Amino acid sequence: MNGIDRRSCLGRLAAGGLAAAGVTAVAPEPVEAAGEPAIEIVNGAEHAWVINDKTFPINPKISNCPNSEPNRNYSMAHLLAEMKVHGIARTVISHVCYYGTDNSYSSHCVKTHPDKLAAIGLLVGHRLHRPGDPENPGRLERLMKRDALVGLRLSPIYDRDRVWMNDPVSYPLWKKAEQLGAVFNIFLAPHQIGQVADMARRFPGVKIVIDHFAMIDITRPDSEGIDQILALEKLPNVYIRTSLHNPSQQKIPFRDMWPYLRKVYDTFGPRRMIYANFYELLIMKDLVPFFSAEDKRWILGKTARSVYRFGKK
């Protein structure tokens, strides 16, 4: 689903077209309870890039998605404008694959607006630096101390038949991450969840965020997908990002994913759930019927604030 389709669907929902989108009208609790301050909303994941910019060029030779190139900007200015439209206080940038290991644009964004933007970078994995490269710990330290990022996105999903995330060659990187207080977002497939569990136990000081519900196939038995995610609950440094759109087989509001969202909510609780994506805010804030007002304070903002650092480094 492209960005225009998402905005169009979101606009229809906001205009009251819930029935057309297959949503049964509900009366959720208001986000702001009487006498309480408004929620500070934090968007836990957006990409950012610019095209035809000599300062921040996109180089397919170092991209880890070289066959996918953007044809429009999704810039820092765009993010800030969308944040204003949606009433979002802060956003976490997930460094986009187009730039590969060149994290300079994400760094530029967070240094320009440190109180509004944080970012995780790309260093290790598919078409990036090899996991066992002895320079990786130093690269991570520079990325965080010099470039003001807060951690990394690791994407073993692109190496489905290869194990590297919890290979011992990766231990020095994770040890450095623990020393620095880094966050690792993990984009992976369900059969790789055991690797996350292994590293979460070995390095409890690294906060781990599972992206996109581990791309579970909701047509398969729960034992092959959501149950493996739920088994991570016993590891307190693991958090779940609520992005619904990838596993869903439906259009916005991705209603087929709501039962899985409920399972995560019942198991992990709101303090380990992180909302993400502009076009899913309305779903989390106004449509999902089982979140209380206090739940929303955590899911929509407080959990992300507890995981990602904002402000001058």
pLDDT on residue 231 = 98
Q: At residue 15, does pLDDT exceed 70?
A: no
Distance CA 154, CA 214 (A): 12
pLDDT on residue 311 = 86
Mean pLDDT of 45-54: 97
**pLDDT tens by residue, 183-239:** 999 999 999 999 999 999 999 999 999 999 999 999 999 999 999 999 999 999 999
More confident residue, 201 or 17: 201
**pLDDT tens by residue, 125-166:** 999 999 999 999 999 999 999 999 999 999 999 999 999 999
Q: At residue 27, does pLDDT exceed 50?
A: no
Q: Would you say domain 3-7+40-307 falls under CATH 3.40.50.1820?
A: no
Q: Could you give the dihedral angle defined by the CA atoms of residues 56, 62, 68 and 74, in that order, rounded to the nearest 10 degrees?
A: -20
Distance CA 139, CA 292 (A): 42
Mean pLDDT of 158-175: 97
Mean pLDDT of 106-116: 98
Residues 6+ apart with CB under 8 A from 146: none
DSSP tag of 49 = B
pLDDT on residue 29 = 42
pLDDT on residue 26 = 42
- SS3 of residue 74 by DSSP: strand
112 burial type by CB count under 10 A (0-12 exposed, 13-18 middle, 19+ buried): exposed
Residues 6+ apart with CB under 8 A from 307: 183, 207, 209, 239, 274
Percent of the chain whose pLDDT exceeds 70: 88
173 burial type by CB count under 10 A (0-12 exposed, 13-18 middle, 19+ buried): buried
Mean pLDDT of 284-313: 94
Q: Which helix (H) or strand (E) holds 138?
A: helix 136-145
DSSP tag of 155 = -
pLDDT on residue 128 = 97
Other C-beta atoms within 10 Å of 121: how many?
25
Q: At residue 7, does pLDDT exceed 50?
A: no
Q: At residue 31, does pLDDT exceed 50?
A: no
pLDDT on residue 32 = 53
248-251: long-range pairs with CB below 8 Å, 24+ = 248/218, 249/218, 249/219, 250/22, 251/1, 251/9, 251/21
Mean pLDDT of the chain: 91
pLDDT on residue 35 = 56
- Identify the CA nearest to 146 among candidates 102, 107, 173: 107
pLDDT on residue 14 = 45
Percent of the chain whose pLDDT exceeds 90: 86
pTM tops 0.85, yes or no:
yes
Domain ranges of the chain: 3-7+40-307
Distance CA 46, CA 74 (A): 9
pLDDT on residue 78 = 98
